[in-house]
């Protein structure tokens, strides 16, 4: 993370706030306002009551995500990530053992500038923490995200989604009456963050995926109080155990869909050690912001791309922007009914998130919802190109069935009528230099 921050700073892509801010609401408010104006990360150097700076908005830009996985100019994110997953499965040495960094400092949870984000949040929350744990049976390591509510220096309350690997690990350990050992990484290297966003099969190893993204092994060290190897470069590490057969109230909390999740009984994480590197930076994350959604969308899109392209030819790219609940598929249309085949394949590719699926032609920008809706509205009928699937279960945490049902939309042009739908162009519009015509642009005079 430090090397990455230095790179962003050198490129002029890091905003630094020197004014004192409060950890409760104020830092999140400034970061949220900045997200409306820029995709640059922001570093708060002076958080009231703490010696540690706070970083937000690191992963809010899709181009930076492409950079993290070393995506070439002519590659799509989906294709590159699929390639990295294949490499990870064949790596002979994904990790290397090192000693604990010499600058390591031990402390307490209350020493960390953990933010309170939303008005009704029940406490400060760790939102960017990457959980590291091992499958109790196979020993395969897993990386995943789970919100963590601060209770005291010795206790967090965490939400384990029922479809996540960590929930299955905990269930197996609990069935034996055992606690599940785990560590929480804050400020991990970008490739570890991206790997943690990816949902691999049960035998998949996200640390190996991070190594594939990096192009070399991940340095690992032994934890201080638990039987676990953890990435040595993490800025902050919280070690502990998920207690068996214990559930305590957690919440409310402002979740990724933009609403509060009310108080519910969730798992208890017993803290055994907290430490950080000297000069550590605390990474915060506003749930539901671009920084939260862009990595999740990209990883979900790659999963859907792999599933759909295995069944349907001509699939070029997939996007899940502007929210992970929708999917947009770009195809090179090759026959009448091609779009419908892609829609059907996509609907079964991710049963949690594919609430709305749209298919577009290869000339449409799938990262612009304006373009996608334009294609739907100008390339054919609205009634015959829409499929509504009733009573299909959706997102796993959905007691009232609010996310049941699916909507599938064909926004491609009619087969065989491509000439009628040729997009108009103005020669030179993409190659001329506006600064030659509008001198103010040379000095940043226009937005």
Task: Tell me: pLDDT of 403 over 60.
Answer: yes
Task: Tell me: pLDDT of 379 over 80.
Answer: yes
Host H or E run for residue 97: strand 95-97
The CATH number linked to 383 is: 3.40.1670.10
Q: What are phi and psi of 178, to 5 degrees?
A: -110, 150
Q: Are 332 and 314 in contact (CB under 8 A)?
A: yes
Task: Tell me: pLDDT of 47 over 60.
Answer: yes
Task: Tell me: pLDDT of 75 over 70.
Answer: yes
Same domain, 40 and 152: yes
Task: Tell me: pLDDT of 352 over 80.
Answer: no
Residue 401 lies in a domain: yes
Q: What are phi and psi of 345, to 5 degrees?
A: -65, -40
Residue 420 lies in a domain: no
Same domain, 280 and 316: no
Establish how many alpha carbons lie within 13 A of residue 322's alpha carbon, considering only the half-sphere containing its beta carbon: 7
CA dihedral 19, 25, 27, 31 (to 10 degrees): -130
How would residue 147 be classed by pLDDT, with cut points 50, 70 and 90? very high
Mean of all residue pLDDT scores within the chain: 92
Q: Are 195 and 87 in contact (CB under 8 A)?
A: no
Same domain, 171 and 317: no
**What is the residue-wise DSSP string for 420-445?**
GGPPP--TTTTTS-GGGT-GGGGGT-
Task: Tell me: pLDDT of 412 over 70.
Answer: yes
Q: Read off the pLDDT of each residue in 41-52 and give the average, rounded to a whole number.
A: 97
Same domain, 46 and 86: yes
206-220, 346-360, 392-406 — which is least confidently predicted?
A: 392-406
Burial of 371 (0-12, 13-18, 19+ CB in 10 A): middle
**What is the residue-wise DSSP string for 38-60?**
----EEES-BTT-SS-EEE-TT-
How would residue 301 be classed by pLDDT, with cut points 50, 70 and 90? very high
List % helix, strand, coil for the chain (3-state, nearest 5): 30, 25, 45
Same domain, 185 and 333: no
Q: Tokens 């892609």 sit at which residue?
A: 342
Task: Tell me: pLDDT of 322 over 90.
Answer: no
Q: How many domains does the chain have?
A: 2
Task: Tell me: pLDDT of 351 over 80.
Answer: no
Q: Read off the pLDDT of each residue in 212-232 and give the average, rounded to a whole number.
A: 95
Task: Tell me: pLDDT of 93 over 70.
Answer: yes
Task: Tell me: pLDDT of 34 over 60.
Answer: yes
How would residue 343 be classed by pLDDT, with cut points 50, 70 and 90? very high
- Asked which of 285, 300, 330 is the last residue of a domain, the reply is 285
Q: Which strands make up the sheet holding 95-97, listed edge to edge?
A: 95-97, 218-222, 229-231
Same domain, 278 and 315: no
Residue 151 lies in a domain: yes
Burial of 370 (0-12, 13-18, 19+ CB in 10 A): exposed
pLDDT on residue 399: 74
The CATH number linked to 250 is: 2.30.110.10
Q: Which residues does 156 contact at the CB level (< 8 Å), separation at least 6?
A: 109, 126, 148, 149, 150, 184, 238, 240, 268, 269, 271
Global model pTM greater than 0.75? yes
What secondary structure, in 3-state letters, does 244-303 show?
Answer: EEEEEEECCEECCCCCEECCEEEEEEEEEEEEEECCCCEECCCCCCHHHHHHHHHHHHHH
CA distance 276 to 183: 13
CA distance 137 to 140: 8
**With pLDDT > 90 as the criterion, what percentage of the chain qualifies?**
77
How would residue 397 be classed by pLDDT, with cut points 50, 70 and 90? low
Q: What is the bridge-based pairing of β-strands 54-56 and 42-44?
A: antiparallel
Same domain, 267 and 343: no
CA distances from 168 to 142, 172, 394 (A): 11, 6, 20
pLDDT, one tens digit per residue, over 231-269 is 999 999 999 999 999 999 999 999 988 889 999 999 999
pLDDT on residue 368: 92
Which letter does DSSP use for residue 370 in this model?
H
pLDDT on residue 353: 78
How would residue 436 be classed by pLDDT, with cut points 50, 70 and 90? confident
Q: Read off the pLDDT of each residue in 335-357 and give the average, rounded to a whole number.
A: 88
Same domain, 249 and 194: yes
Residue 419 lies in a domain: no
Structural domain for 181, as ranges: 2-285
Residue 46 lies in a domain: yes
pLDDT on residue 438: 83
**With pLDDT > 70 as the criterion, what percentage of the chain qualifies?**
98
Same domain, 86 and 202: yes
pLDDT on residue 247: 96
pLDDT on residue 256: 85
Establish how many alpha carbons lie within 13 A of residue 396's alpha carbon, considering only the half-sphere containing its beta carbon: 8
CA distance 128 to 286: 9
Residue 130 lies in a domain: yes
pLDDT on residue 348: 83
How would residue 84 be classed by pLDDT, with cut points 50, 70 and 90? very high
Same domain, 326 and 388: yes
Same domain, 43 and 140: yes
| Dihedral sign, Cα of residue 5, residue 72, residue 370, residue 328 | negative
Q: How big is the CA angle at 422 (ends 417 and 427), to the nearest 5 degrees?
A: 165
Q: Which among 296, 275, 331 has a CA at the least distance from the CA of 108?
A: 275
Residue 300 lies in a domain: no
Task: Tell me: pLDDT of 224 over 90.
Answer: yes
Task: Tell me: pLDDT of 446 over 70.
Answer: no
Residue 298 lies in a domain: no
Q: Read off the pLDDT of each residue in 140-159 and give the average, rounded to a whole number.
A: 96
87 token code pair: 């490499």
pLDDT on residue 216: 94
pLDDT on residue 116: 97
Same domain, 246 and 335: no
Q: Which residues does 204 contact at the CB level (< 8 Å), separation at least 6?
A: 85, 88, 89, 140
């Amino acid at each position: 993370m430090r090397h990455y921050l230095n790179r962003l700073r050198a490129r002029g892509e890091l905003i630094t706030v020197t004014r004192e801010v409060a950890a409760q609401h104020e830092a999140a408010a400034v970061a949220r306002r900045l997200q409306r104006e820029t995709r640059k990360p922001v570093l708060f150097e002076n958080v009231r009551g703490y010696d540690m700076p706070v970083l937000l908005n690191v992963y809010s830009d899709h181009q930076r995500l492409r950079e993290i996985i070393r995506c070439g100019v002519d590659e799509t994110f989906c294709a590159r990530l699929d390639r990295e997953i294949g490499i990870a499965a064949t790596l002979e040495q994904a990790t290397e053992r090192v000693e604990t960094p010499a600058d390591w400092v031990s402390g307490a949870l209350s020493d960390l500038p953990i933010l309170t984000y939303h008005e009704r949040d029940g406490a400060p929350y760790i939102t960017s923490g990457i959980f590291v744990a091992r499958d109790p049976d196979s020993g395969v390591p897993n990386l995943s995200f789970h919100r963590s509510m601060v209770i005291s220096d010795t206790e967090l309350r965490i939400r384990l989604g029922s479809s996540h690997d960590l929930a299955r690990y905990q269930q197996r350990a609990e069935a034996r009456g055992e606690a599940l050992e785990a560590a929480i990484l804050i400020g991990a290297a970008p490739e570890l963050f991206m790997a943690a966003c990816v949902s691999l099969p049960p035998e998949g190893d996200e640390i190996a995926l991070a190594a594939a993204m990096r192009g070399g092994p991940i340095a690992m060290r032994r934890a201080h109080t638990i039987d676990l190897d953890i990435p040595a470069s993490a800025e902050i590490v919280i070690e502990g155990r998920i207690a068996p057969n214990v559930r305590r109230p957690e919440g409310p909390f402002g979740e990724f869909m933009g609403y509060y999740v009310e108080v519910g009984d969730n798992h208890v994480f017993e803290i055994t050690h907290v430490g950080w590197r000297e000069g550590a930076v605390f990474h915060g994350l506003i749930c539901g912001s671009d920084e939260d959604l862009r990595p999740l969308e990209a990883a979900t899109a790659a999963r859907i791309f792999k599933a759909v392209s295995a069944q349907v030819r001509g699939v070029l790219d997939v996007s899940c922007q502007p929210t992970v609940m929708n999917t947009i598929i770009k195809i090179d249309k090759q026959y009448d009914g091609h779009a419908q085949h892609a829609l059907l394949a996509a609907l079964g590719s991710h049963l949690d998130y594919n609430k709305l699926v749209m298919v577009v032609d290869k000339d449409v920008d799938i990262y612009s919802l304006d373009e996608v809706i334009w294609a739907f509205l100008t390339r054919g009928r609205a009634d015959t190109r829409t499929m509504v699937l009733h009573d299909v279960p959706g997102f796993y945490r959905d007691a009232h069935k609010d996310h049941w049902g699916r909507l599938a939309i064909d926004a491609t042009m009619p087969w065989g009528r491509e000439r009628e739908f040729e997009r108009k162009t103005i020669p030179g519009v993409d190659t001329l230099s506006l600064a030659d015509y509008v001198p103010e642009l040379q000095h940043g005079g226009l937005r």
